[in-house]
Amino acid sequence: MNTPLTELGQQLRVDSVRAAAAAGSGHPTSSMSAADLMAVLLARQFRYDFGRPSHPGNDRFVLSKGHASPLLYAAYKAAGAIDDSELLTFRTLGSRLEGHPTPRRLPWVETATGSLGQGLPVGVGIALAGKRLDRADYRVWVLCGDSELAEGSVWEAAEHAGYEQLDNLTAIVDVNRLGQRGPTRHGHDLDAYARRFQAFGWHTVEIDGHDVDAIERAYGEAVSTAGQPTAILARTLKGKGVAAVEDREGLHGKPLPDADEAIGELGGVRDLHVEVQQPPDARTPHAASAGHLELPRWETGDEVATRDAYGKALAALGTAREDVVALDGEVSDSTRAEFFAKEHPDRFFECYIAEQQLVAAAVGLATRGRVPFASSFAAFLTRAHDFVRMAAVSGAGINLVGSHAGVAIGEDGPSQMGVEDLAMFRAVFDSTVLYPCDANQTARLVATMADLDGIRYLRTSRGGMPVLYGPDEEFPVGGSKVLRASEDDRLTVVAAGVTVHEALKAADALAADGIPVRVVDLYSVKPVDLETLREAAERTGCLLTVEDHHEQGGIGDAVLDAFLDGRPTPRLVRLAVRMMPGSATPAEQLHAAGIDAESIVAAAKLLVENAVVR
Amino acid sequence: MNTPLTELGQQLRVDSVRAAAAAGSGHPTSSMSAADLMAVLLARQFRYDFGRPSHPGNDRFVLSKGHASPLLYAAYKAAGAIDDSELLTFRTLGSRLEGHPTPRRLPWVETATGSLGQGLPVGVGIALAGKRLDRADYRVWVLCGDSELAEGSVWEAAEHAGYEQLDNLTAIVDVNRLGQRGPTRHGHDLDAYARRFQAFGWHTVEIDGHDVDAIERAYGEAVSTAGQPTAILARTLKGKGVAAVEDREGLHGKPLPDADEAIGELGGVRDLHVEVQQPPDARTPHAASAGHLELPRWETGDEVATRDAYGKALAALGTAREDVVALDGEVSDSTRAEFFAKEHPDRFFECYIAEQQLVAAAVGLATRGRVPFASSFAAFLTRAHDFVRMAAVSGAGINLVGSHAGVAIGEDGPSQMGVEDLAMFRAVFDSTVLYPCDANQTARLVATMADLDGIRYLRTSRGGMPVLYGPDEEFPVGGSKVLRASEDDRLTVVAAGVTVHEALKAADALAADGIPVRVVDLYSVKPVDLETLREAAERTGCLLTVEDHHEQGGIGDAVLDAFLDGRPTPRLVRLAVRMMPGSATPAEQLHAAGIDAESIVAAAKLLVENAVVR
């Protein structure tokens, strides 16, 4: 009965208990249920070079139930990747072994988990890379909890993987029947889960998750199943192996009450070492070197929508660079990702109306060295907020593009208007937020953002706008453009995107009335151009921000970044969307929201007349 | 062949075509596919008093495919709720007939739609109210598109409804096989959808969605099906009835190329009127009058977590008010919603780990006159961002409570830390954002927020904090508390939640060093206390904000609301979370993020030494 595999499972349990005991917190019982599943995977199926995590032939493992991190770290120890003393640093300041694993700290972690229901969607992205781009034999193994199957994102992933016939993907579901607060909806009813996965086109296997032979057979069945992803539904017991906690409620996320007794009950501390199989040879599939980039060019004065410029620039970037891929949420005719799709169909991923899966697939593709651009309406990217947040925890490098920004879209009304997106993306850790106002600027920013780190967001507009800049103008991140300036400027209008054009009209009208104003195009919303804003503040004393966005978290707040070091803050006046729009034409919308040229003129005159500005 | 029902269907098509033609935009082809489904529902099944939308016996209809608004408005016309001239105001400035329907403008709309995949989840909330609270016979009919079934939120809803056996809920799926950009994944494969719904416990019926007799039978079958919700999968043709557009790609969201010809082909304009069945008598089920509220009380100096205070206050509120309900995303032991669940199990809704459904259910319950409090970790409410956004479009009155705010949670690490939630909720239209620092304050705010309009957000903390305020202190929304003040204050520290306690420690240390500082507890983050902030600015010249949140969109930005009218802005200095935390103790986290007392002292001294402040 005590095969090496069961012994290894017991070691993983013991080490999970020890790590949590040392930390005084953590999720040992959630680790113990899946210990046998992990032991067999590590010893029998997983092909991985721990010395070379970027090996193109490596299998990929995702711990979707990220709270079972003690199990993951115990497996790393068994594989020789970390030593026992490091294992016991779990959850302490400075340790790589965080409460939930992240690739920021550990090279063997593909993606940060801990927000449930995200591992499988990211695994789908990795499997897509393997199948459609790398054409490599690596397999993607995702260890899921049963509780997290309540997340809709899991079924977006199931749909995507089933439809794409990702037979390189295996979901191992640790059905331990207990969530955080108590029993799950379906308890140990493996059939309930099997029916769901089967309906989405998956092959399923139901097993006793503590029977190592059954586990081994199930993995073999997954590997030999062609044309379908496989879900292994494993009946397990939370806290398996220790009577005081096994299959009991109220013990989620807590160290065991008596660790020493538990370790004894589990047969004591072991030091088994697993020789993990080496991956097969594989080439790095995409060209690392960039070809010559020929961005599209527009003449100043042309009327072009920035979403059109986005699509064309992305297609050109895709021609120059093999590592660039695009994804879209079934609106590529609107976001103009279709231009890329037509030129590079092999590197375009249609994600249908499933924005969480859209972002997760981008994260997965990024783990395989790709530079993904994922697009939808700006409004609908809010659907993926938690995935963007977790991508930032991962340190993933992805480009997100939100079209149909603001009330300027017109008749479709508020459900389609992105007026919170700048706030959402600015608050993401280490993000870059770009918002172009013309086609040439858009094209340049698309090329630039591809080489940045972290989460990059580009906001595009639906309607045509005149091209302001020549095709050779440069737009560094953290820069801005001063479009009107004189020695006598009474205030500075700071705008971006559609409001730049309103600001220019307003400036001309104000100049005609003897009120010169400065106009700054703040295309880089994060980071902002500190110097230009500070100079404008010093010279004019007042910044009037105008934005097609709610008044919170957008451009009006962004300009403040230039004045947070204790220096005097200029007067700040803000025009932004403060009402709930209805349907109307774009021009009517801008006027109703008080962010059109007329509104800017009125605000500027009010400030001048009341002697608020010089 | 031309029964009155087919004639009615044709009228709905003609009127959809006419409305879109008048507007010059809109989605007539998506309306035409579902016209027969709508005609039969309106004429044969729907029980509704258009003169009394709040009638407790009314059936409820949700247009989940909100872009098919022309069909909805055509139905309103057929039912006599609007006249033909209003129909033709579609999508114009000031019209009630927006591109996507919202209850802000139209009394017969239950919830705003237009972001796909939201109607069914909200419908589940309404059906839950009918089944578990109202115990009324009304039925909930949700008209879905096929494209939107790719959204995971639909499967969260399917899971919830199947598990709760909501046989008062019917999903009518208009399977017209064409999305916006092209074909859906499953085309006209009705079985593919049926398998999925069945797997989640639904009864399914597959029909030709243009066969009015089949539709009528299917509705009858849905009504007579007990113990299961029903999904009617209807094979339809987009643009049905007009050869130029029928079943053709590339015609989504566009008026018909030749409206007059199309109207002729559809048999011309009709003026059929439908006598919609009146609802049965029903009582308004919950008591309108509030009982006596006895909030929990704590002694100053006690160590209490605000999440505990939340749970206890909510339970007390539930005792006083029958209309208060609570929902949680399988973490009620952490959010402390469990206190309510134990005392009022009949009014507690376990939504498992499905935050989109959690918020949608709250919106649905709110449509039936309830005051919902929905809770999860603050970090995980980002999962429901799009639902919160759409709830604001609806004008829904819901309370959302995010626990485990900030890095102060400690060891669990960044995946569990809400550090973007203030930015997200501040940017929601017409929202209220509250962030208490002690137990008595929390309890008062819970009672207050129940009576507000719109989206109300309460941010709670994991760890115990000393009670600062007596149980009879009042905390108006838009207020603040000045906790330290003197004539000689050199600057003002503005804090909320956990940082209030750090600010007090810092103020005491600074005072001992001869640097008096003012401390403001900004428990109302939106709206902020304009007067107190302005006075603090005038008296001290500098606001030093300290928050357990990313630097964007939180308290540092919120204080600016007091200085946007052109008045001089004080110097603003900001302490906030600017790094990616790892695992560490709560105290270590606050220190590493630079938001603990020591960091505040250091920042204040730096400002004083550099003579930045007076």
Residue A1: pLDDT band (50, 70, 90) is: low
Measure the CA–CA gap between A552 and A141, rounded to whole angstroms: 41
Handedness of CA A338, A344, A350, A351 (dihedral sign): negative
Per-residue pLDDT tens for B8-28?
999 999 999 999 999 999 999
Give all strands of the β-sheet with A348-350 in edge-to-edge order.
A348-350, A324-328, A371-377, A398-403, A455-459, A432-434, A524-526
In this prediction, residue A284 carries a pLDDT of: 72
Residue among B289, B403, B287 nearest B337 (CA): B403
Measure the CA–CA gap between B436 and B310, rounded to whole angstroms: 10
Measure the CA–CA gap between A391 and A398, rounded to whole angstroms: 8
Query: Is A69 in CB contact (< 8 Å) with chain B?
Result: no
- How many angstroms away from the CA of A88 is the closest CA of chain B? 13
Per-residue pLDDT tens for A511-537?
999 999 999 999 999 999 999 999 999
Fold of the domain spanning B2-266: Rossmann fold (3.40.50)
The neighbouring-strand residues paired with B482 are B520
Query: Is A147 in CB contact (< 8 Å) with chain B?
Result: yes
The neighbouring-strand residues paired with B374 are B327, B400
Query: Is B89 in CB contact (< 8 Å) with chain A?
Result: no
- Chain B neighbors of A584, CB-CB under 8 A: 92-94
Distances (CA, A) of B551 to A247, A426, B225, B350: 43, 9, 53, 34
DSSP assigned state of A65: S
Distances (CA, A) of A28 to A20, A79, A259: 6, 19, 10
Measure the CA–CA gap between B157 and B115, rounded to whole angstroms: 15
Whether the Cβ atoms of residue B522 and residue B495 lie closer than 8 Å to each other = yes
DSSP H or E run through A510: helix A498-512
Residue among B355, B322, B353, B349 nearest B337 (CA): B349
The answer to whether the Cβ–Cβ distance between B583 and A93 falls below 8 Å is yes
Of these residues, A355, A420, A502, A547, which one is catalytic?
A355
Among all chains, which residue has been given the structure tokens 């694993």?
A101
- Chain A neighbors of B151, CB-CB under 8 A: 152, 156, 353-354, 383
Query: Is B598 in CB contact (< 8 Å) with chain A?
Result: no
Per-residue pLDDT tens for A568-589?
999 999 999 999 999 999 999 9
Per-residue pLDDT tens for B364-414?
999 999 999 999 999 999 999 999 999 999 999 999 999 999 999 999 999
What DSSP line would sit under A310-379, residue for residue?
HHHHHHHHHHH-TTEEEEESS-HHHHSTHHHHHH-GGGEEE--S-HHHHHHHHHHHHHTT-EEEEEEEGG
DSSP H or E run through A231: strand A230-235
Interface subset of B 236-265, CB within 8 angstroms of A: none
CA end-to-end distance (rounded Å), chain B? 87
B436 pLDDT exceeds 70? yes
Give the architecture (CATH level 2) of B302-467. 3-Layer(aba) Sandwich (3.40)
Whether the Cβ atoms of residue B531 and residue B565 lie closer than 8 Å to each other = no
* Cβ contacts of A592-599, under 8 Å, gap ≥ 24: A592/A407, A592/B93, A593/A407, A593/A548, A595/A407, A595/A499, A595/A502, A595/A546, A595/A547, A595/A548, A596/A502, A597/A502, A597/A503, A597/A505, A597/A506, A597/A509, A598/A506, A599/A502, A599/A546, A599/A575
Of A23, A354, A526, which has the smallest distance from its Cβ to B150's Cβ?
A354
Backbone angles phi, psi at B101, to 5 degrees: -70, 145
Whether the Cβ atoms of residue B21 and residue B256 lie closer than 8 Å to each other = yes
In this prediction, residue B455 carries a pLDDT of: 98
Distances (CA, A) of A233 to A57, A62, A150, A194, A196: 27, 16, 15, 7, 11
Read off the tokens for A293.
């980039």
Percentage of chain A lying above the pLDDT 90 cut: 96
Instruction: Say which residues have a Cβ less than 8 Å from residue A67's Cβ, sequence separation at least 6.
Output: A26, A27, A30, A99, A100, A114, A253
Largest CA distance in chain A: 93
Measure the CA–CA gap between B192 and B11, rounded to whole angstroms: 32
Query: Is B602 in CB contact (< 8 Å) with chain A?
Result: no
Query: Is B610 in CB contact (< 8 Å) with chain A?
Result: yes
Whether the Cβ atoms of residue B396 and residue B122 lie closer than 8 Å to each other = no
Q: What count of other Cβ atoms lies within 10 Å of the Cβ of residue A211?
A: 16
Over residues B150-162, mean pLDDT: 98
Query: Is A364 in CB contact (< 8 Å) with chain B?
Result: no
Alpha-carbon radius of gyration of chain A: 27
Per-residue pLDDT tens for A240-298?
999 999 999 999 999 999 999 999 999 999 999 999 999 998 877 665 556 899 999 99
Read off the tokens for A34.
């899946």
What count of Cα atoms within 13 Å lies in the side-chain half-sphere of residue A537? 21
- How many contacts (CB atoms, under 8 Å) link A and B? 348
Question: Can you tell me whether residue B542 is helix, strand or coil?
Answer: strand
Handedness of CA B573, B577, B580, B583 (dihedral sign): positive
DSSP H or E run through A494: strand A491-495
CA end-to-end distance (rounded Å), chain A? 87
Per-residue pLDDT tens for B122-133?
999 999 999 999
- How many angstroms away from the CA of B470 is the closest CA of chain A? 32
In this prediction, residue B585 carries a pLDDT of: 96
Distances (CA, A) of A149 to A36, A65, A72, B228: 21, 11, 20, 21
Instruction: Say which residues have a Cβ less than 8 Å from residue A490's Cβ, sequence separation at least 6.
Output: A515, A516, A517, A540, A542, A604, A607, A608, A613, A614
The answer to whether the Cβ–Cβ distance between B415 and A570 falls below 8 Å is no
Per-residue pLDDT tens for B211-244?
999 999 999 999 999 999 999 999 999 999 999 9
Measure the CA–CA gap between B64 and B123, rounded to whole angstroms: 9
Q: What count of other Cβ atoms lies within 10 Å of the Cβ of residue B54?
A: 11
Residue A612: pLDDT band (50, 70, 90) is: confident
In this prediction, residue A286 carries a pLDDT of: 61
The answer to whether the Cβ–Cβ distance between B564 and A572 falls below 8 Å is yes
Whether the Cβ atoms of residue B548 and residue B402 lie closer than 8 Å to each other = no
Read off the tokens for A469.
């800049």
Read off the tokens for B381.
């409410």
* Mean per-residue pLDDT of chain A: 97
Outline which parts of chain A fall under CATH 3.40.50.970.
2-266, 302-467
Query: Is B473 in CB contact (< 8 Å) with chain A?
Result: no
Outline which parts of chain B fall under CATH 3.40.50.920.
481-612
Q: What count of other Cβ atoms lies within 10 Å of the Cβ of residue A132?
A: 16
Residue A79: pLDDT band (50, 70, 90) is: very high
A215 pLDDT exceeds 70? yes
In this prediction, residue A157 carries a pLDDT of: 98
Interface subset of B 368-427, CB within 8 angstroms of A: 379-380, 382-383, 385-386, 389-390, 392-393, 395, 410-416, 419-420, 423-424, 426-427
Whether the Cβ atoms of residue B58 and residue B40 lie closer than 8 Å to each other = no
Measure the CA–CA gap between A368 and A375, rounded to whole angstroms: 19
In this prediction, residue A614 carries a pLDDT of: 66
Question: Can you tell me whether residue A240 is helix, strand or coil?
Answer: coil
Residue among A296, A176, A148, A315 nearest A233 (CA): A176
B347 pLDDT exceeds 60? yes
Over residues B325-348, mean pLDDT: 98
Residue type, B362: A
Alpha-carbon radius of gyration of chain B: 27
In this prediction, residue B286 carries a pLDDT of: 61
In this prediction, residue B291 carries a pLDDT of: 81
Whether the Cβ atoms of residue B362 and residue B398 lie closer than 8 Å to each other = yes
Measure the CA–CA gap between B441 and B297, rounded to whole angstroms: 10
Residue from B552, B577, B580 whose CB has the most chain A CBs within 10 Å, to mutate: B552
User: Is A355 a catalytic site residue?
Assistant: yes
B281 pLDDT exceeds 90? no
Over residues A191-214, mean pLDDT: 98
Instruction: Say which residues have a Cβ less than 8 Å from residue B579's Cβ, sequence separation at least 6.
Output: B592, B593
- How many angstroms away from the CA of B151 is the closest CA of chain A? 5
| Counts of helices then strands in chain A (DSSP H, E) | 22, 19
Read off the tokens for A88.
């016991």
What DSSP line would sit under B296-333, residue for residue?
----TT-EEEHHHHHHHHHHHHHHH-TTEEEEESS-HH
Interface subset of A 479-538, CB within 8 angstroms of B: 526
In this prediction, residue B611 carries a pLDDT of: 76
Instruction: Please give the CATH number for the structural domain made up of A481-612.
Output: 3.40.50.920
The answer to whether the Cβ–Cβ distance between B427 and A424 falls below 8 Å is yes
Measure the CA–CA gap between A87 and A20, rounded to whole angstroms: 10
Residue B288: pLDDT band (50, 70, 90) is: low
Residue among A176, A170, A204 nearest A189 (CA): A176
The answer to whether the Cβ–Cβ distance between B100 and A526 falls below 8 Å is no
In this prediction, residue A41 carries a pLDDT of: 98
Over residues A220-236, mean pLDDT: 98
In this prediction, residue B614 carries a pLDDT of: 67
The answer to whether the Cβ–Cβ distance between A330 and B414 falls below 8 Å is no
In this prediction, residue A600 carries a pLDDT of: 98
Per-residue pLDDT tens for A406-464?
999 999 999 999 999 999 999 999 999 999 999 999 999 999 999 999 999 999 999 99
Active site residues of B: 355
- Chain B neighbors of A92, CB-CB under 8 A: 583-584
What DSSP line would sit under A159-178, residue for residue?
HHHHHTT-TTEEEEEEE-SB
Of A181, A416, A573, which has the smallest distance from its Cβ to B564's Cβ?
A573
DSSP assigned state of B132: I
The answer to whether the Cβ–Cβ distance between B152 and A150 falls below 8 Å is no
The answer to whether the Cβ–Cβ distance between A98 and B567 falls below 8 Å is no
The answer to whether the Cβ–Cβ distance between A382 and B386 falls below 8 Å is yes
Residue among A508, A16, A377 nearest B390 (CA): A377
B343 pLDDT exceeds 70? yes
The neighbouring-strand residues paired with A458 are A401, A434
